[in-house]
């Protein structure tokens, strides 16, 4: 049961307590003499009843009458079988009912003397002999107590309704703003300070609205960036087609240019499709693979391609480094990072790949000795279509590192970048050795 339940419970309980207290107070104020005429059970009264009973049993009614006639004795009522007092005093109204309800108790004595049955009792000091006590409540309809209970219940119900309805109205207005396209709509901070389920719901609403805003803005930026990236190769394609028409003798060179631009567009579309599939949550089959072997294949291919630049590629990995992953996707992510390091490393430079393992995680560091990235631009390095301002070349579409981050995140890992002391960029990757959502290895 949550905090909101207890708030409902306490408010309702408060309503009941207030109602009972109000009724009790009204009864106490309007019926101050309701206890008049009740039996006296005090120790002195018990002693007087004992004395009267002894006199009646051993000396008879006449002696008891003389004893009771003394003004020094408290009034002990002695009624015969017909309900008449032994001294001829007017019997208080309701005494017969009181003594009948408590028959057999020490406050009422039933004795037989000289063939007559007698009932002995004493009334509380506020019961004056000869004056009938006021009737108990129950005659007139208790309108005032009921009105008081109703008002107390209505007050607490109004407070409870206002306490719940106000944040609900704010949530409704927030959803209306989102429906009308206002993605900047947020709930007021006051509702977040309630510390109950409604505050948690408001927090979820604000976070959802912020996430929607980020996604839509990301889609707009992506559409803008894709349009920008496609415009250049399409413009070059059109120029190549125009050149082929004007200079038929250069047709072969023009066709090579068209083929190159077509390959660039195809690569861009492929990377965009992979990004879209990852964002949509599509997952393939996972298998246990050796991270060292995977990186060794990537390094071997990179050495073959970068041989002319004189780059040194160094791989340091443990002999056994099993990891559960989608092999094609993880290969693509690591290859993108390695190729990015090679692209920015100077001629005769060095690219290092270091792998360490822990019980649950594998750590990969890919570093180069290139120019690095300005510190202010490091958080943007994994954004789609982003290129560092100090990049030596504009090759590529700026999707390699963004795609790598999506793949690493899809595997439950993390990726970050930092500048290395002495120059260069270090990309750090942490991958879980087993997928968090799988209980056993997939093959």
* CATH number, position 307: 3.30.565.10
Rounded CA gap, 118 and 102, in Å?
A: 15
- Return the closest-CA partner of residue 96 out of 34, 37, 31: 37
What are the pLDDT digits (tens) for 278-308? 666 656 677 888 888 999 999 888 887 777 7
Q: Is 416 helix (H, G, I), strand (E, B) or coil?
A: strand
Lowest mean pLDDT of 85-99, 147-161, 410-424, name the range.
85-99
Rounded CA gap, 272 and 384, in Å?
A: 10
pLDDT band (50, 70, 90) for residue 109: confident
Across the range 33-56, mean pLDDT stands at 76
Confidence (pLDDT) at 170: 83
Confidence (pLDDT) at 153: 77
pLDDT band (50, 70, 90) for residue 125: low
Residue 192 lies in a domain: no
Q: For the beta carbon of residue 257, count every other beta carbon within 10 angstroms.
A: 18
Residue 195 lies in a domain: no
Confidence (pLDDT) at 353: 92
- Domain CATH number, residue 63: 3.30.450.160
Confidence (pLDDT) at 364: 93
The residue with greater pLDDT, 222 or 59, is: 59
Q: For the beta carbon of residue 429, count every other beta carbon within 10 angstroms.
A: 21
Query: Where do the DSSP E strands lie in 86-157?
Result: 108-113, 116-121
- Domain CATH number, residue 230: 1.10.287.130
Q: How far is CA 44 from CA 36, 58, 71, 74, 76, in A?
A: 18, 21, 16, 10, 12
Q: Are residues 24 and 159 in the same domain?
A: yes
Q: Which helix (H) or strand (E) holds 429?
A: strand 425-432
Across the range 381-385, mean pLDDT stands at 78
Q: Of 87, 121, 155, which residue is a domain's last? A: 121
Q: Of 230, 245, 279, which residue is a domain's last? A: 279
Confidence (pLDDT) at 363: 93
Confidence (pLDDT) at 265: 81
Q: Are residues 160 and 16 in the same domain?
A: yes
Q: What is the DSSP string of 56-76?
A: HHHH-HHHHHHHHTSTTS---
pLDDT band (50, 70, 90) for residue 16: confident
Q: Are residues 362 and 407 in the same domain?
A: yes
Q: Are residues 207 and 344 in the same domain?
A: no
The residue with greater pLDDT, 288 or 274, is: 288
If you ran DSSP here, which 8-state letter would residue 133 be given? P
Q: Are residues 356 and 305 in the same domain?
A: yes
Confidence (pLDDT) at 414: 92
Lowest mean pLDDT of 60-69, 138-147, 331-340, name the range.
138-147
Across the range 85-107, mean pLDDT stands at 70
What are the pLDDT digits (tens) for 318-355? 888 888 888 888 888 898 899 888 888 888 888 999 99
Greatest extent of the chain over all pairs of C-alpha atoms, in Å: 156
Residue 186 lies in a domain: no
In the predicted structure, residue 428 carries a pLDDT above the cut 90: yes
Q: Are residues 15 and 160 in the same domain?
A: yes
Q: Are residues 301 and 271 in the same domain?
A: no
Q: Are residues 260 and 304 in the same domain?
A: no
Residue 348 lies in a domain: yes
Rounded CA gap, 406 and 332, in Å?
A: 11
Q: What residue has token string 């017909």?
A: 82
Confidence (pLDDT) at 183: 81
- Return the closest-CA partner of residue 383 out of 275, 231, 281: 275
Confidence (pLDDT) at 25: 72
pLDDT band (50, 70, 90) for residue 427: very high
Q: What is the DSSP string of 322-386?
A: EEEE-HHHHHHHHHHHHHHHHHHSPTT-EEEEEEEE-SSEEEEEEEE-S----GGGGGGTTSTT-
pLDDT band (50, 70, 90) for residue 430: very high
pLDDT band (50, 70, 90) for residue 396: low
Residue 409 lies in a domain: yes
Q: Of 90, 121, 152, which residue is a domain's last? A: 121
Confidence (pLDDT) at 129: 41
Rounded CA gap, 154 and 381, in Å?
A: 61
Q: Are residues 207 and 155 in the same domain?
A: no
In the predicted structure, residue 137 carries a pLDDT above the cut 60: no
Query: Where do the DSSP E strands lie in 253-308?
Result: 287-290
How many domains, in total, are found in the chain? 4
Confirm if 187 and 205 have CB atoms less than 8 A apart: yes
Confidence (pLDDT) at 3: 67
Q: What is the value of pTM for the model shown?
A: 0.49
Helices (DSSP H) in 103-186: which residue ranges? 143-179
Q: Are residues 359 and 380 in the same domain?
A: yes
Residue 128 lies in a domain: no
In the predicted structure, residue 358 carries a pLDDT above the cut 70: yes
- Return the closest-CA partner of residue 408 out of 358, 366, 347, 351: 366
Residue 132 lies in a domain: no
pLDDT band (50, 70, 90) for residue 31: low
Q: Are residues 240 and 164 in the same domain?
A: no
- pLDDT averaged over every residue in the chain: 78
Rounded CA gap, 364 and 382, in Å?
A: 17
Q: 400-410 and 327-344 helices cross at what angle (nearest 10)?
A: 140
Range of the domain at 87: 43-121
Q: Are residues 302 and 233 in the same domain?
A: no
Residue 193 lies in a domain: no
pLDDT band (50, 70, 90) for residue 34: very low
Confirm if 419 and 369 have CB atoms less than 8 A apart: no
């Amino acid at each position: 049961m949550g905090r909101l339940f207890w708030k409902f419970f306490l408010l309702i309980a408060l309503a009941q307590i207030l109602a009972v207290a109000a009724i009790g107070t009204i009864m106490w104020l309007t019926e101050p003499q309701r206890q008049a005429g009740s039996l006296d059970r005090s120790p002195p009264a018990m002693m007087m009843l004992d004395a009267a009973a002894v006199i009646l049993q051993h000396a008879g009614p006449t002696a008891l009458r003389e004893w009771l006639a003394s003004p020094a004795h408290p009034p002990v009522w002695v009624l015969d079988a017909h309900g008449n007092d032994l001294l001829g005093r007017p019997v208080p109204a309701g005494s017969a009912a009181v003594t009948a309800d408590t028959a057999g108790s020490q406050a009422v004595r039933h004795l037989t003397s000289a063939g007559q049955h007698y009932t002995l009792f004493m009334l509380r000091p506020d019961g004056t002999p000869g004056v009938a006590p006021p009737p108990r409540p129950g005659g007139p309809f208790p309108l005032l107590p009921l009105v008081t209970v109703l008002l107390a219940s209505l007050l607490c119900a109004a407070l409870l309704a206002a306490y719940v309805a106000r944040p609900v109205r704010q949530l409704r207005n927030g959803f209306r703003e989102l429906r009308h396209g206002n993605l900047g709509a947020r709930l007021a901070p006051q509702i977040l300070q309630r510390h109950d389920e409604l505050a948690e719901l408001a927090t979820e609403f604000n976070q959802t609205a912020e996430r929607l805003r980020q996604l839509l803005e990301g889609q707009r930026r992506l559409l803008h960036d894709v349009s920008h990236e496609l415009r250049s190769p399409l413009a070059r394609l059109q120029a190549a087609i125009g050149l082929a028409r004007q200079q038929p003798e250069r047709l072969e060179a023009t066709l090579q240019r068209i083929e190159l631009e077509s390959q660039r567009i195809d690569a861009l579309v492929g990377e965009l499709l992979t990004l879209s599939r990852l964002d949509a949550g599509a997952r393939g089959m996972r298998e246990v693979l050796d991270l060292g072997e995977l990186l060794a294949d990537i390094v071997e291919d990179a050495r073959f391609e970068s041989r002319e630049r004189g780059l040194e590629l160094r791989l340091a990995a443990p002999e056994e480094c099993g990891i559960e992953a989608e092999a094609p996707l993880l290969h693509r992510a690591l290859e993108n990072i390695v190729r990015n390091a090679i692209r920015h490393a100077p001629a005769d430079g060095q690219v290092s790949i270091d792998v360490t393992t822990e019980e649950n995680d594998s750590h990969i560091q890919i570093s180069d000795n290139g120019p690095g990235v300005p510190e202010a631009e490091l958080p943007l390095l994994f954004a789609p279509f982003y290129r560092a301002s100090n990049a030596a070349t504009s090759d590529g579409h700026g999707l390699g590192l963004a795609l790598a981050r999506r793949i690493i995140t899809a595997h439950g890992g993390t990726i970050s970048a930092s500048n290395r002391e002495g120059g260069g960029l270090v990309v750090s990757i942490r991958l879980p050795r087993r997928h968090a959502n799988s209980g056993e290895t997939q093959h």
